[in-house]
Structure 1
Amino acid sequence: MKNNTCFVYILQSKKDGSFYVGQCEDLDRRMSRHFDGFSKYTAAKSPLILVYFEVLPSRSDAIKRERQVKKWLAL
């Protein structure tokens, strides 16, 4: 049976202080992609730090939470 656990995370650029909010199923793999420069947007913002993450029970919950957090950061 597949594990549907997902993560919502916030990265902060040490370069300019900006935030990036995302969601994924495999946090370790996704962080490696960001930190190794394979994510187009965050590659230009490097170096990055993971400032927050949370576990959610499903992809749909993670997408909803990601949107909520992005709205907060846009204020």
Structure 2
Amino acid sequence: MSGQQPAVYIMASGERGTLYVGVTGSLRQRVHQHREGSVEGFTSRYDVGRLVWFELHPDFPSAIAREKQLKKWNRVWKLRLIENANPIWRDLWDDIQI
């Protein structure tokens, strides 16, 4: 999987809205898919298209472990994580350099 940068990310429908936690090897491509609703599923069903948090990882095992950890967190913890890094819930799409 050369050329891929493992990342864990959180998408939201809006400020403090519906949240989605995911992992990918191509953050820009995956976020684009969520934003366009090009893949049927949770994010297209609930209009979850704003990237509000992401974290890059050195390898897929660590990214997958972090995703699993975040999925077990309660909503308040996830909101706190987002708001510590992105207090105004800005869409981070333009911040993706990979």
Q: TM-score range by the shorter chain?
A: 0.7 to 0.9
- Show structure 2 runs of 5+ residues with no match: 77-98
Higher strand share: 1
Q: State the one-letter code of the partner of 1:61.
A: S
8 A Cα contact 1:4 1:59, kept in partner = no
TM-score (norm 2): 0.66
Alpha-carbon deviation of 1:68?
0.6
Q: State the one-letter code of the partner of 2:52.
A: V
Counterpart position of 1:8:
8
Q: State the one-letter code of the partner of 1:56.
A: H
Gap change, CA 1:30 and 1:6, over 3 Å in 2: same
Alpha-carbon deviation of 1:51?
0.8
RMSD (CA atoms): 2.3
1:29-54 deviation digits (Å, cap 9, x = unpaired): 00111011023210011152111000
TM-score (norm 1): 0.84
8 A Cα contact 2:13 2:19, kept in partner = yes
Alpha-carbon deviation of 1:72?
1.1
Q: How many residues align?
A: 75
Q: State the one-letter code of the partner of 1:72.
A: W
- Show structure 1 runs of 5+ residues with no match: none
Counterpart position of 1:25:
25
Q: State the one-letter code of the partner of 1:26.
A: S
8 A Cα contact 2:11 2:50, kept in partner = yes
1:53 aligns with 2:54: yes
Q: Percent identity of the aligned residues?
A: 36
Q: Give the structure, 1 or 2, with the largest relative contact order (CA under 8 Å, sep 6 or more).
A: 1
